[in-house]
Structure formats: structure tokens, C-alpha cells
Amino acid sequence: MGRKRRGIPVHGWLNIDKPEGMSSAAVVGAVRRITNAQKAGHAGTLDPFATGVLPIALGEATKTVPYLVAEEKEYGFTARFGGATNTDDIEGQIIQESDHRPNESDILNMIPSFTGDIIQIPPAYSAIKINGERAYKLARSGEDVVMPERTVTIYDLRLDEIIDQDHARFTVRCSKGTYIRALARDLAVALGTVAHLSQLRRLRVGPFLEKSAISLDKLAELWQCPAEFEDLLPLTTALDDIPAVAISETQAIRVRHGNDVAVPNQADGTICALDGDIPLAICKVEGGVAFPVRVFNI
């Protein structure tokens, strides 16, 4: 007999406004304590010093996390010119300094070079695995970490404000896998100086927006009446770009058991199979046949 899972079955998404100073894992832990959910996970790690949108999946919604992680993201960040740190953010130690400060014209002229597909070298202090080990663990142990290059897409990069001689505020819309710390670092180098992030806030992850994010304190207050809680979003929220396809009752039984069903009028690709309004599974369609990839147990 399998071990009984602790907690209650809660399925859906929460749009949490992550506070500064907490890791993403700590936020997930706090959400589980507040909701007593059996299972929870987050979509897209935020560094402890960062704030903003952190989508939290509860229950069977955790099976849709990969589809949200792939979504476009938007951030607001502040670069501090004149000092490079070993972590490329405010939490690290200064390892290089420069007296040069770019002006507004310099920055505006350089931004087009950092728009579109660009090549990044992620920070050594990141969660990327190198030979099976997290890069940040290797870096903390004093090893010389060689990070692999990656291509990411910057859809839009805007200079919002020159705050003072040392600080400038930006907004960026980007693809998955983009390191904003690396973006600020590389932009500064291209401008003939060095920089690190002094502030980072995530404004959007796919359909999850800053304006609808709630704090952990607000969640704790509102969750006292779960039946009336209106901020728990549907399991399918992360599947906005995936077609929803209703199937018959007989087909639904097959899908629940992981078996394929015929969908002759459906184009090849990924769908969410529905039994009425109930999501059954994420399926891959090939040649008019839907093959369950992730089945929801709800």
C-alpha cells in the first residue's frame, strides 16, 4: 500500500508576489503551510534578492509547470554602474571597479545591440548544472567555473530612467533562460564600464501579471475561507496557448487510464483533453490520434 500523502488535495495556480530576502523554495514552503496543499511547486526561480511574480502550482497543476516555464517573461531592473560583483548582483562581493559612467545617449545607442537573439554566458552563481553539480555550489567552493554560452531572445529592452550617475532603471521582455544579471553585466561591458544588479522585479510570466499578484500575508488572510477564495486560478492557466479539445465519455475513460484515443479532426501538436469542463490530460496528437503525456488525477 502506498504512503498516504499529507495535506489536502488542492489543484490550481497562485500568483504570488515574492518578497525580498526569501528563496523561491522558501516561498513554496510557506504556500504549502498556509494552504495545507498536498503538493506545490514554482515556475521559474527568482533569486532571494529579487521580488515579483512567482507562479505557484498546487496539486495536479504541478504537471503543467514546464508549459509555463517556457513562456515569455518581463522584468524591471536597476543596474549599478562602476562595480562588478562575483554574483553579478547586490549580494556579491566587488571584484572590479570602473570610474567610467555611461550617459543616456550612450545607453540608448547600445540597446539595439542587446535586442533580438543574443548570446549570454550565465553567471557562475546560478543553478545551472556543470557535470552534475549546481554551478553556484562549485563557485562557492572556490572552483573556477566555466559556464556554457546560450542563445536567448530579448524581445524588448527599454531605458526607463537615469536615477543618478551610478544607477539606471530598465524594463526587459525576454525568453526563457535569460539571466537579467548577465544582461546588465554585458551591457555595462559594452558601454566601457562594469555593473551589477541592485534591484530586480519580475513583472510577468506568461499570463501571470504583477497587478494580480498577492503577498504571502494576503494569501494567509484570505485562505481562512478557502471556499470563498477567488485567487486560486484554474489548473489550465498555464496552458493558455494549448488548444482545449472535448472528448466523449468513453474516450475520457481511456485517457484516464493513459490510453490513446482517436481525434480525427485535430491537427498534430499538443492539446488539453477535456471531459466536459474537467481537464483530463495533456496529449500529443499525431495522425489523428491523441496520446496522453500527463494525465491529471482530479
Catalytic residue set: 47
- Gap between the Cα atoms of 122 and 151, Å rounded: 10
Distance CA 1, CA 18 (A): 38
Amino acid at 236: T
CA of 47: how far to CAs of 70, 93, 177, 249, in Å? 18, 16, 14, 45
Structural contact between residues 17 and 9, judged by C-beta atoms closer than 8 angstroms: no
Residue 200's alpha-carbon distances to 50, 101, 172, 234, 256, in angstroms, are: 5, 21, 11, 28, 42
DSSP at 7 = S
Amino acid at 222: L
Q: What SS3 state is found at 46? A: coil
Q: Is 63 exposed, middle or buried (0-12, 13-18, 19+ CB in 10 A)?
A: buried
| Secondary structure E strands in 138-277 | 150-162, 167-174, 195-205, 208-209, 244-246, 261-262, 269-275
Q: What are phi and psi of 8, to 5 degrees?
A: -115, 150
Strands 83-85 and 244-246: unpaired
